[in-house]
Amino acid sequence: MKAAAPGGFLVLPWRSGGGGGGSSDLGAEEEGQGGLLLKCGAVLGVTLICVAVLRKWIAGGVCRCAVRLDGKTVLITGANTGIGKETSRDLARRGARVVMACRDLARAEQAAEEIRRSTGNGNVVIRHLDLASIYSVKQFAKEFLDSEDRLDILINNAGVMMCPKWLTEDGFETQLGVNHLGHFMLTNLLLPKLKSSAPSRVINVSSMVHRGGRIDFDDLFFSKRPYSPLESYRQSKLANILFSRELARRLRGSGVSSFSLHPGVIRTELSRHVEGWFPLLGVLLRLPSLLLMKTPTQGCQTTLYCALMPGLERLSGRYFSDCAEQDPAPEGQDNVAAGKLWEESARLVGLKDTC
């Protein structure tokens, strides 16, 4: 019998679980939702673990060398951004005098000031250097030799990637001109200081993209063949490896070691021309790049390894990746091509006295 509640409301008895189907349906629904949440949580957990493992693998090797550089001088080209900036920061933290050689002095000073503050090392200076100008390279080298007491580590880090067909003021195709010829000239001009500071090192930042590249001695600047940004970049990165190899051969016994390296695929401003050629590709890759590319700090680890690791002198001329020696492509092991490139590079930049 239904009981009447005050105010005219009808009070129904509570239905127990055994009699009707409503509560069991509700329980089954809640159980189903709980199972779904559990499955989603498991999938999310596995996904996060996989992403963490992937990121660790992509990060690659880490330079764990604890060497200090107090009293040492380091010169880094293209040091105001990307891996050049992070390399500068790490070496400044180790007590080195860091000379940041950059084309844009305003941006360079901002980067240098940030590094001074974050490391507590006030001995971080900037110098103007435009690797697309042989005149600028000569001026920079003269001022450096006149003003600096020593040079312990030269890191040829600056570069351009897959830019349009531009020419430097000396008439060189830009990628070969900046990535190789400018650094070739700079290194040769600074050799007296490197030799007097021995043991010293020269590090050339190359790329795994050298694989499949070739040095076209009959048409280095794409004057006869159609210009390809990728082929030009490959040629310049292969030139870095051959230059480092030949430099090591010529400097054997001098106390100056030479190394080349692949830093990894890194999220830096270097890819801006790639996005210019393929805007949609740039948009599509921007989010995945957060997962699939190294950060600048991760990308500078092999540079640091080559600059700092004790005992590496015996491997002068070799190629490194992820803080370990690797074999370059067969094209990067061609000693005849390395010697020929040296002679042609010296002719192009007007350098008569080389090591």
pLDDT at residue 40, as a whole number: 76
Q: Which of 342, 318, 46 is nearest to 180 (CA)?
A: 342
d(CA 306, CA 74): 13
Is residue 17 pLDDT above 60, yes or no?
A: no
d(CA 53, CA 51): 5
Distances (CA, A) of 50 to 13, 46, 285: 53, 6, 20
Cα 328 to its chain centre, rounded Å, is 17
Is residue 335 pLDDT above 90, yes or no?
A: yes
Kindly report, residue by residue over 33-91, the tens digit of the pLDDT: 767 777 777 767 755 565 555 445 455 789 999 999 999 999 999 999 999 999 999 99
Q: Which amino acid is at 242?
A: L
pLDDT at residue 47, as a whole number: 56
Sheet holding 73-77, edge to edge: 124-128, 97-102, 73-77, 153-156, 200-205, 256-262, 319-321, 324-326
Count of CB atoms situated within 10 Å of the CB of 152: 20
CATH of domain 59-349: 3.40.50.720
d(CA 191, CA 287): 43
Cα separation of the two ends of the chain: 111
Is residue 104 pLDDT above 60, yes or no?
A: yes
Kindly report, residue by residue over 281-308, the tens digit of the pLDDT: 555 555 555 556 789 999 999 999 999 9
pLDDT at residue 293, as a whole number: 77
Is residue 19 pLDDT above 50, yes or no?
A: no
pTM above 0.85, yes or no: no
Mean pLDDT of 193-208: 98
Pick the more confident residue, 25 or 172: 172
* CA atoms 189, 158, 231, 213: torsion sign: positive
Name the residue ranges covered by the structural domains of the chain.
59-349
Judge whether 100 and 77 are in contact, CB under 8 Å.
Answer: no
d(CA 43, CA 205): 40
Judge whether 151 and 193 are in contact, CB under 8 Å.
Answer: yes
**What's 227's DSSP letter?**
P
pLDDT at residue 1, as a whole number: 47
Helical H segments across the chain, by residue range = 22-59, 82-93, 105-119, 134-147, 174-176, 183-196, 229-250, 272-277, 279-292, 296-299, 301-308, 335-349
Residue positions annotated with a catalytic role: 233
Is residue 272 pLDDT above 60, yes or no?
A: no
Is residue 267 pLDDT above 70, yes or no?
A: no
d(CA 233, CA 230): 5
